[in-house]
Amino acid sequence: MSGATDWLSRAAGPLHGEVRVPGDKSVSHRALMFGALAEGVSRIHGFLEGEDTRATAAVLQRLGVRIDTPSAGERIVHGVGLHGLRASSEPLDCGNAGTGMRLLAGLLAGQAFDSTLVGDASLSKRPMRRVTEPLAAMGARIETTQGGLPPLVVRGGQRLHGIRYELPVASAQVKSALLLAGLYAAGETEVIEPYPTRDYTERMLAAFGWPIAFEPGRAKLSGGHALRATDVDVPADFSSAAFFLVAASIVPGSELRLPAVGLNPRRTGLLEALRLMGADIRIENPRESGGEPVGDLVVRHAPLHGVELPEALVPDMIDEFPALFIAAAVARGRTVVRGAAELRVKESDRIASMAAGLRALGARIEETPDGAIIDGGTLSGGAVQTHMDHRIAMSFSVAGLVATAPVRIHDCGHVATSFPGYLQLANACGFALESLV
Ligand code: S3P
């Protein structure tokens, strides 16, 4: 990865055309994992060719799973069954992916062999006790550093038993890690969330034939069944579409069409937030694909105004705050975000990263422990840091579209973790984004 790549984003637009954003990251990770544990051959269409999801594929290959790549965006996973994985003699490198590491921790807790999970500098700073503690309550043995950080050493050969666990924070990753361990556990594993989070694990387990009961905020399964291979159609990633939704909303004269975007209600909080701010976003051709709601998004420029963001929207837009902060910084009036302390433990501390970057561009933003108060206005040019965070980089490329002078964004290499080809797609619809290698 070329972490040292800087970008320069200049004022441009209007934005026009059709933007086909890549496959959903959350769905791609899970499709690989369930395909690997299934009996039979699963085909994944629309797989995200990002560094995060490729890292998960490479981990599973190290564990003895054959994964073919017939063409870009396609994977054929030759499942080995629930007990068919083999020990890796090398550490398993999850790259930048919190989802990869946390879900694999649950999956590996039930194996007969030891594994070590490692990650890059950003992932190595992310809290892992949120998964290791409840997994330990299920009988797993997982070692972390003193501070509860990676690497994770997962000891195999443990007898797992189901638990009923009330999550202290809303987290699909923690929920999914426990459900994955639950496949190997004796008895019932039940997970209860303070707010409902994305339910891809639950939906996909059902699609792979595992009996599971779930409703928003709650999921329950028992061990001892089998996964049957199935094909997975991955929708376009709403979180990748988010940058274009904000960009077209704030650049006068713009109209973009984003086809076949995943619209799972646990992901589309930004749509509601932007509409509350006055955005003009329509859903066309709503349909189902691979058991997930999808639709074509049509977004037109509209004057935005600040809002007090309803806290209930936070989990449904947890990855979209960097993009929202840009919208808020150029909207008329004040935007207040509360109840979003989780942003501090994402790929970077996203409240701090966005506040520092926006201030460097002359915005008025006050950090709070669990959010921010942003007074909209005009952005100037300047230089911003990404803190190795893909979404910070893409968000400031959007800011550059409406800034009064160019915005230099340091260290944009991590964009490839979730959105390969972003720069080209952005420029094709009217951005003026340049890579300064
Ligand atoms: C994800 C869950 C969310 C999200 C992440 C992907 C997933 O993390 O931020 O990008 O695929 O389960 P948390 O579960 O930590 O909120």
Tens digit of each residue's pLDDT (9 = 90 or more) over 232-282: 999 999 999 999 999 999 999 999 999 999 999 999 999 999 999 999 999
Question: In sequence order, what are the residues at sequence separation of 6 or more whose Cβ sits closer than 8 angstroms to the Cβ of residue 89?
Answer: none
Helix (H) or strand (E) holding 106: helix 98-109
Judge if 312 and 255 occupy the same domain: yes
Phi first, then psi, for residue 355 (nearest 5°) are -65, -45
* Confidence band of 290 (pLDDT split at 50, 70, 90): confident
Chosen domain end from 183, 211, 233: 233
**Probe target for ligand 1 pocket from 53, 101, 171, 234, with the most ligand atoms within 8 Å of CB:** 171
Question: What are the two backbone dihedrals, phi and then psi, of residue 43, each rounded to the nearest 5 degrees?
Answer: -110, 135
- Residue 367 counted as domain residue: yes
Q: Which ligand 1 atom lies nearest to the CA of residue 172?
A: 14
Beta strands (DSSP E) in 216-322 are: 218-222, 232-233, 255-262, 280-289, 292-300
The answer to whether residue 288 scores a pLDDT higher than 80 is yes
Whether 3 has a pLDDT exceeding 80, the answer reads no
* Residue 131: partners with Cβ closer than 8 Å, 6 or more residues away: 102, 105, 106, 142, 173, 174, 177, 178
Ligand 1 centre and the CA of 173: distance in Å?
A: 5
Please give the number of the atom of ligand 1 that sits closest to the Cα of 346.
Answer: 9
Q: What is the pLDDT of residue 406?
A: 98
Residue 171 Cα to ligand 1 midpoint, Å, equals: 6
C-alpha 99 to ligand 1 mean position (Å)? 6
Backbone Cα Rg of the chain: 21
Q: What is the pLDDT of residue 291?
A: 83
pLDDT at res. 2: 43
Q: Is 319 in the pocket of ligand 1 (CB under 6 A)?
A: yes
Please give the distance, rounded to the nearest whole angstrom, from the Cα atom of residue 22 to the centre of ligand 1: 17
CATH number, residue 132: 3.65.10.10
Instruction: Examine residue 69 and state whether it is found in any structural domain, yes or no.
Output: yes
Where among 196, 213, 233 does a domain terminate?
A: 233
- The verdict on 155 and 276 lying in the same domain is no
- Shared domain for 266 and 319, answered yes or no, is yes
Residues 135 and 250 in one domain: no
In the prediction, which pLDDT does 1 show? 45
Domain's final residue, options 207, 233, 259: 233
pLDDT tens digits for 305-319? 999 999 999 999 999
Q: 3-state DSSP: the chain helix, strand, coil percent, rounded to 5?
A: 35, 25, 40
Angle value at C-alpha 239, between 234 and 242, nearest 5 degrees: 125
Residue 220 alpha carbon to ligand 1 centre in Å = 19
Q: Is the CB of 99 within 6 Å of ligand 1?
A: yes
Model confidence at 419, in pLDDT bands (50, 70, 90)?
very high
Active site annotation includes 319: yes
| 268 and 206 within one domain | no
Residue 68 pLDDT class (50, 70, 90 cuts) = very high
Question: What is the pLDDT, as a whole number, of residue 347?
Answer: 95
Q: What's the rounded Cα separation, in Å, for the pair 386 and 340?
A: 19
Query: Is the minimum distance from the CB of 172 to ligand 1 under 6 angstroms?
Result: yes
The active-site residue, picked from 24, 319, 389, 411, is 319
Q: Which domain holds residue 251?
A: 6-23+236-436
Q: Is 239 in the pocket of ligand 1 (CB under 6 A)?
A: no
Over residues 367-405, the pLDDT tens digits come to 999 999 999 999 999 999 999 999 999 999 999 999 999
Provide the token pair at 207: 């699609």
Q: Note whether 404 and 267 are same-domain residues.
A: yes
Q: In angstroms, how far is the first alpha carbon of the chain from the final one?
A: 13
Per DSSP (E only), the strands in 301-417 are 334-337, 364-368, 371-375, 382-385, 407-410
Q: Which amino acid would we find at residue 246?
A: V
User: Is the CB–ligand 1 distance for residue 53 below 6 Å?
Assistant: no
Residues 15, 4: Cα–Cα separation, whole Å: 28
Helices (H), ranges, 382-432 = 390-402, 422-428
Question: Which of 53, 129, 173, 174 for mutating ligand 1's site (highest number of atoms within 8 Å of CB)?
Answer: 173
Better-scored residue on pLDDT, 7 or 2: 7
Task: Give tens-digit pLDDT for 83-94.
Answer: 999 999 999 999
For residue range 154-197, what is the model confidence (pLDDT) as tens digits? 999 999 999 999 999 999 999 999 999 999 999 999 999 999 99
At residue 340, the pLDDT reads: 98
Looking at the structure, do residues 249 and 327 belong to the same domain, yes or no?
A: yes
| Sole residue written with tokens 């009923």 | 164
Integer angstrom CA distances of residue 172 from 51, 102, 326: 20, 10, 25
Q: What is the pLDDT of residues 115-163, one digit of tens each?
A: 999 999 999 999 999 999 999 999 999 999 999 999 999 999 999 999 9
Domain count for the chain, please give it: 2
Same domain, residue pair 308 and 195: no
Same domain, 201 and 240: no
Percent of the chain whose pLDDT exceeds 90: 98
Q: Are residues 113 and 147 in the same domain?
A: yes
CA dist 131 and 270 (Å) reads: 27
- Atom from ligand 1 closest to the CA of residue 29: 11
In a domain, 314, yes or no: yes
Q: Are 207 and 391 in contact (CB under 8 A)?
A: no
The answer on 221 and 261 residing in a single domain is no
Same domain, 14 and 37: no
